[in-house]
């Protein structure tokens, strides 16, 4: 642009840490112009306080003050010379690439159930007590159904879940084919009580509250056949 003092941000120097903005970056650059070291350190502490206001989420970290001083050095290009309470970071440590974590090579045959559920089934199949093993079978089958619903919410094949449980446990966890699995929560022996579906009219009647009929006292007091009316007239001497 030809006009003096008006430039695009794209023409300016790139912001090192965008959370603090360009103004903080300009303030840090001005620190090098302060000759007195003590005044330069006081100015750096003031900038640190402004950086907290610009990025308040950094307070969630336990060592946020250390991070602020590190960011101060990084924005200055590692050339800042002040009395910092922490050791200044080194450029080679910031440019060093982190170690590659690597990918897991575990092959899960029943991926829709998850790796941890498969381990739970393998551990439950080692139970020697038949009664406890049967209870674990129903509980694990209910959990398998919940995991199955995460992938397929329209059709749930209970027989498929029962066969998978038997196959994964090598025949140790067996459930009767006619058993209805419960995916909402644990029930005794994993069986779900049969409930009759409510009709829409029953639901509407259940939501309505019956209004209490209030007696019309004024109309009753004007009725000659009402005993209270006769008593009132006798008190007034009209009868």
Same domain, yes or no, for 90 and 120?
no
* Segment 114-130, tens digit of pLDDT: 888 999 999 999 999 98
- Using the 3D structure, point to which of 168, 190, 212 is the last residue of a domain: 190
Same domain, 70 and 15: yes
Q: How confident is the model at residue 9 (pLDDT cuts 50, 70, 90)?
A: confident
* Tokens read off for 156: 């749930």
pLDDT for res 187: 46
Is residue 107 a part of any domain in this protein?
A: no
- Is there a single domain that holds both residue 83 and residue 125? no
Among 171, 190, 209, residue at a domain's last position: 190
Residues 47 and 93: their CA atoms lie apart, in Å, by: 24
Question: In total, how many domains does the chain have?
Answer: 2
The verdict on 168 and 91 lying in the same domain is: no
Mean pLDDT of the region 208-233 = 63
Is residue 221 included in any domain, yes or no? no
In a domain? residue 238: no
Cα 46 from Cα 66, distance rounded (Å): 15
Same domain, 129 and 68: no
Domain assignment present for residue 205? The answer is no
> Could you report the per-residue pLDDT of 23-44, keeping only the tens digit for each?
999 999 999 889 999 999 999 9
17 is a domain residue: yes
Of 47, 46, 68, 42, residue with least CA distance to 57? 68
CA dist 112 to 16, 43, 116, 180, 223, Å? 44, 58, 11, 20, 78
Q: Dig out the tokens for 99 from the structure.
A: 């170690």
The range of the structural domain enclosing residue 147 comes to 115-190
199 part of a folded domain = no
Is 234 domain-assigned?
no
Q: What is the pTM of this model?
A: 0.42
């Amino acid at each position: 642009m030809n006009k003096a003092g008006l430039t695009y941000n794209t023409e300016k120097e790139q912001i090192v840490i965008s959370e603090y903005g360009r103004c903080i970056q300009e303030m840090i650059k001005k620190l090098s112009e302060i000759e007195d070291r003590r005044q330069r350190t006081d100015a750096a502490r003031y900038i640190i306080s402004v950086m907290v206001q610009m990025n308040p989420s950094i307070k969630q970290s336990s060592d946020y003050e250390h991070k602020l001083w590190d960011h101060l050095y990084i924005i200055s290009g590692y050339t800042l010379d002040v009395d910092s309470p922490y050791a200044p970071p080194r450029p080679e440590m910031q440019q060093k690439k982190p170690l590659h974590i690597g990918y897991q090579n575990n092959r899960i045959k029943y991926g829709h159930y998850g790796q941890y559920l498969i381990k739970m089934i393998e551990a439950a199949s080692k139970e020697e007590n038949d009664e406890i093993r049967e209870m674990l079978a129903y509980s694990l089958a209910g959990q398998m159904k919940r995991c199955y619903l995460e992938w397929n919410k329209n059709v749930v094949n209970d027989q498929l879940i029962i066969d998978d449980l038997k196959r994964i446990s090598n025949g140790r966890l067996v459930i009767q084919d006619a058993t209805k699995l419960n995916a909402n929560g644990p029930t005794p022996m994993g069986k779900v009580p049969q409930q009759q579906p409510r009709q829409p009219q029953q639901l509407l009647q259940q939501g309505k509250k019956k209004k209490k009929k209030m007696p019309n006292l004024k109309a009753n007091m004007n009725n000659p056949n009402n005993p209270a009316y006769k008593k009132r007239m006798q008190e007034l001497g009209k009868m």
